[in-house]
Chain A
Amino acid sequence: MLSLMIVPLGLAVFIGLHRVSYSTFKNPVFIGLSNYSEVLKDPSFWDAVLWNLLIILVVVPAHIILAFIAALLLDQVTGRIRGFYLAAMLLPMIVVPVIGTIVFRQLFDPSGLISWFFRVVLDERIIFNETSMKLLILIHSTWISTPFALAIFFAGLQMVPRDLIDSASIDGANRIQQVRHIVIPQLRSLFLLNAILAVMDLLRLFDNVFVLTRMNPIFHSDTMQTHLYRIAVTVKRLGKANAGAVLTVIIIMLVLIPFLIYMYREQMEER
């Protein structure tokens, strides 16, 4: 039965090993490792990697804090209105990311709500340049990754044992102390889970950047994936893009190793 799982994984590994040295797919020419060295020497590749890591550094804490606050507040509400709040907050998770991004971007178009707000209240026009576009990507990534974390936290909050909190409040702990000393330690594994999932998703961030920048190079805001896409589709260097893909896999694995080791320990304990 295990082989049924190994086969698809093995297939992926097999493909992963085979994509190395084809410069054109009709008659592949073996050129060794020069694709790899070319990617590694390319400064724009490293720019993309650094920008991607920066996104992770900003978005992961931001969206976890937002989601945790929202989940705590949502836990205070009961009845039908809770369902309404939850459904409205989960919208960005359910709607297709590409559409979510288009919809988000529309607010900033000249006829959109937010640019209107900027004009009327601040008397400024929104101009897309490198800085504002990068800011927009950060805001949007936070926006789109908050709901899932919120749902997980909310589900987790229902499982925090009641008597712990009750005894703490009898001992005179105020709300902030209760959250700080009981809820957060209880949900520690969920914080980690959210962080892992968000890091994984942000490492292969593509849709949002593709839609927001419309692949316009003036914004200099390529992530790893859009950079590879540019090489593969715009410049039509399939071999180089493949080499880059292998390198990004290695980078991603390097980033993920601490998380994976932690998961491994946890699974072993559970066993």
Chain B
Amino acid sequence: MQPVKNLYGRIFIHLTLWIFVLYNSVPFFWTFLQSLKTKRQANSRTPLFWFEPTFENYSELWLKKVPENFTVIICILIFILIALFIFSLIGEKLSLSSLLIRLTIFGTIAMILFSIPIFVKTAEFYDYFVNTMIVGFGTVIVSIGIASLSGYALSRYLGIAGVILIILALAFRSLPRMAFGLPYFWMGQISGLYDSNFLVIIALAAVNQPFAIYMLRSFFKEIPREIEEAAMVDGASRFEAFIKVIIPIMWPGIITTSLFTLVLVYHEFLLVRILTLKNWTLAVAMQQYLGGISDSGSLPLKSAAAVSAALPLLIIILFYQKNLIKGITAGSVKG
């Protein structure tokens, strides 16, 4: 539609949009403020907007005790991160293969994650964070591995069975978590895998499979058949054509789908709650801050936990923002 020109009209539009923005973001903003307050300030009956921020809640949440050389460690961490960032910039110029760059960055970050507890006494919250990362990336790898093969097959095989399968995949998306969780709980108890990250990864991969397949299929559909036919004429088998020709073209689509899977896994609550006793992910770890009906004591701590659990995903999303928007467009509009 062509834009409204009239001044009052524009003021009206912006005002309404601001109302929507407030409606959507005020709760988060409020929680962020709460997390920087002391207990007394957080519980005051008239809300405080101006106060001296304190980071006590965060350190209480993440660390068992604050180490003496805290600033040094923070400096080293920041230095490593900056070095990584510069490396990623230079790497493109030096025409190193992008896979190598990504592998180094992910490898270093993983090493940092695992080595922090050696130097600093971290609290349980950190374990939950590491758990979430393991489960998140594990599930993404497993489910994308299976889904890219089957999504490819479904995009090429247009028989009636293919249509029925894709409908089934959509229907499975809506299945209740209880129907998955309880059988997996039972299997876990039988096989002794209960409370392990492995079982959680398998269960989450199974649950998120249909969505990944559906989304990847719509990406695969955009690739013309002629490309892999050309590869096959040149003597490649169907599988070789898939690995060597299709996957490199599909890389952006695969990244987008992985991102969505990661978000869904990160959001998963009920399934992980059923399948674990102590090896929680962040979303499940949040429940210990729910408390009873009236738990005013730990308000700022609760807010700090909410903020710190939400931030990692927000940062990842910020990095891949364009893929997210593209995914919504591709997955929905083109269907």
A199-250 at interface with B (beta carbon < 8 Å)? 199-201, 203-204, 206-207, 210-211, 214, 216, 224-225, 228-229, 232-233, 238, 241-242, 244-246, 248-249
Chain B residue numbers with a CB within 8 Å of A225 are 176-178, 270
Chain B residue numbers with a CB within 8 Å of A77 are 13-14, 17
Q: How far is the CB of A135 from chain B (nearest CB, A)?
A: 16
- Asked if A5 and B153 sit within 8 Å, CB to CB, the answer is yes
Chain A residue numbers with a CB within 8 Å of B266 are 96
- Asked if B20 and A106 sit within 8 Å, CB to CB, the answer is no
The docked-state distance in angstroms from the alpha carbon of A92 to that of B313 is: 12
Interface: B95 (CB within 8 A):
no
The one of A99, A159, A178 in contact with B333, judged by C-beta atoms closer than 8 angstroms, is: A159
Interface: B101 (CB within 8 A):
no
Chain B residue numbers with a CB within 8 Å of A92 are 24
Count, chain A residues at interface, CB 8 A: 106
The one of A76, A214, A232, A271 in contact with B182, judged by C-beta atoms closer than 8 angstroms, is: A232
Interface: B2 (CB within 8 A):
yes
- Asked if B313 and A96 sit within 8 Å, CB to CB, the answer is yes
- Asked if B1 and A104 sit within 8 Å, CB to CB, the answer is no
- Asked if A267 and B152 sit within 8 Å, CB to CB, the answer is no
Given A4-B149, A189-B335, A193-B332, decide whether A111 and B43 contact each other with a Cβ distance below 8 A.
yes
A14-33 CB mask vs B (1 if < 8 Å, else 0) is 01101100100110000000
B216-251 at interface with A (beta carbon < 8 Å)? none
- Asked if A99 and B309 sit within 8 Å, CB to CB, the answer is yes
The one of A26, A112, A249 in contact with B179, judged by C-beta atoms closer than 8 angstroms, is: A249
Q: How large is the interface on B (under 10, 10 to 19, 20 to 34, 35 or more residues)?
A: 35 or more
Interface: A151 (CB within 8 A):
yes
* Dominant SS among interface residues on chain B: helix
- Asked if B154 and A5 sit within 8 Å, CB to CB, the answer is yes
Interface: B134 (CB within 8 A):
no
Chain A residue numbers with a CB within 8 Å of B16 are 69, 73
The one of B34, B179, B210, B299 in contact with A248, judged by C-beta atoms closer than 8 angstroms, is: B179
- Asked if A76 and B25 sit within 8 Å, CB to CB, the answer is no
Chain A residue numbers with a CB within 8 Å of B328 are 148, 151-152, 155
Which of A34-42, A57-65, A252-260 makes up part of the contact surface? A252-260
Q: Which of B153, B172, B333 has the most CB of A within 10 A?
A: B333
Chain B residue numbers with a CB within 8 Å of A238 are 182, 185-186
Chain B residue numbers with a CB within 8 Å of A138 are none
B43-78 CB mask vs A (1 if < 8 Å, else 0) is 111110000000000000000000000000000000
The docked-state distance in angstroms from the alpha carbon of A259 to that of B198 is: 35
Chain B residue numbers with a CB within 8 Å of A69 are 16
Q: Which of A22, A109, A116, A178 has the most CB of B within 10 A?
A: A109
* Dominant SS among interface residues on chain A: helix
- Asked if B17 and A74 sit within 8 Å, CB to CB, the answer is yes
Which partner residue on chain B sits nearest A67 by CB separation? B20
Chain A residue numbers with a CB within 8 Å of B270 are 206-207, 210, 225, 229
The docked-state distance in angstroms from the alpha carbon of A236 to that of B332 is: 40
- Asked if B178 and A248 sit within 8 Å, CB to CB, the answer is yes
- Asked if B30 and A106 sit within 8 Å, CB to CB, the answer is yes
Interface: B174 (CB within 8 A):
yes
Interface: B116 (CB within 8 A):
no
- Asked if A111 and B313 sit within 8 Å, CB to CB, the answer is no
Q: Which of A98, A112, A216 has the most CB of B within 10 A?
A: A98
B305-335 CB mask vs A (1 if < 8 Å, else 0) is 0100110011001000000010011001101
- Asked if A2 and B171 sit within 8 Å, CB to CB, the answer is no
Interface: B117 (CB within 8 A):
no
Which of B83-91, B102-110, B122-130, B289-297 makes up part of the contact surface? B289-297
Which partner residue on chain A sits nearest B152 by CB separation? A1
The docked-state distance in angstroms from the alpha carbon of A70 to that of B318 is: 22
Which partner residue on chain A sits nearest B205 by CB separation? A8
List the 3 closest pairs (A to B, CB-CB), nearest first.
A5-B150, A1-B153, A200-B174
Known: A99-B283, A155-B328, A249-B175. 12 other contacts (CB 8 A): A94-B263, A95-B310, A104-B27, A106-B27, A116-B47, A178-B1, A206-B269, A211-B287, A238-B182, A248-B176, A252-B176, A260-B167
